[in-house]
Amino acid sequence: MHLTRKQAIKNCLEMWLELSVTGSSNKATAIQEHNIDNNCWFCHYTDQQQEKLKHGGCNTFCPIITMLKFESCHSTAYKLWRWASSNRERKMHAKSFHNQLLPLQK
């Protein structure tokens, strides 16, 4: 599936909003249905750009790094969501991560 940065951002925001409601530990069936790299819309977009342009990687293309200026996705609430042990915790961290991603809508 080819993604633009704008599509990756839209899909990611929708997914994390859904996860903030469900508390699921599964990132979404849409990702699995489309065979998305690393189960992440941003990783898939980054991998496509890297393959197309024959250079770069997360530091060059991932919106979390290039636009939000985080060191990596692991320095966001994503890491807390990933290791959460309950639905309640996952909902809270998914909401927090969704909120961290909201400035990407510009």
What residues contact residue 10 under an 8 Å CB cut-off, 6+ apart? none
What pLDDT score was predicted for residue 9? 95
Element (H, E) at 98: helix 87-101
Q: How many domains does one find in the chain?
A: 1
In whole angstroms, how far apart are CA 40 and each of 88, 97?
22, 13
In whole angstroms, how far apart are CA 50 and each of 1, 8, 62, 89?
15, 15, 10, 34
Range of the domain at 20: 5-105
Residue 24 has pLDDT above 70, yes or no: yes
What pLDDT score was predicted for residue 2? 86
Residue 30 pLDDT level (bands cut at 50, 70, 90): low
Averaged pLDDT for residues 41-68: 91
pTM as predicted: 0.87
Measured torsion, CA atoms of residues 105, 36, 87, 92, in degrees rounded to the nearest 10 = -20
